[in-house]
Amino acid sequence: EEVRQAGGLFILGTERHESRRIDNQLRGRAGRQGDPGESRFFISLEDDLMRKFGGERVQTVMQTLGIEDDVPIENAFLTKTIESSQRKVEGRNFSIRKNVLDFDDVMSQQRMTIYSQRAKVLDGEDVSDYVKNMIKETIEENVKTYCSDDYPENWNLIGLREHFCKYAYKGR
């Protein structure tokens, strides 16, 4: 009741968050359900969001108009610049999350393949044909890598030999 009589809750933001959702949540804390309240954000061109997206453009406009650094600015241009910056960050973050999910899908498929192969070995199934095929494919890939040219004089036979010797049984 005391807060209401004093004019409500005042939210003071010292910078804008990369996410508009977070800023809106902070704004929502003031004046909830018809209660009085207000929110105000103070930003600097040196804040991360402004430095990364749009701070130089705002600085250029301020210099062109002759506005001093310590003068408060409240206008649509600045608001749109901040919101545009937030949208860019949100888009970049969405893209990063999407790539992580795509990568996780690939890893999951590989994991399932390995688990399936392991289960066959543990169940005593004959996997010799599968192993022989893997060896054959590996050899073919390595030969393509070291001997890809149509001209035998350009083949890297020494490199191919050294590569295979790293994995060959050396006897003991």
pLDDT in tens, 128-141: 999 999 999 999 99
Q: Please name each of the domains of the chain with its CATH number.
A: 2-94 (3.40.50.300), 126-172 (no CATH)
In the numeric block, the tokens 């929502």 are attached to: 28
Cβ atoms of residues 13 and 28 within 8 Å = no
Cβ atoms of residues 61 and 77 within 8 Å = yes
Per residue in 58-98, pLDDT (tens digit) is: 778 778 878 777 777 676 777 788 888 888 889 999 999 99
Per residue in 6-41, pLDDT (tens digit) is: 888 888 888 888 888 888 888 888 877 778 888 888
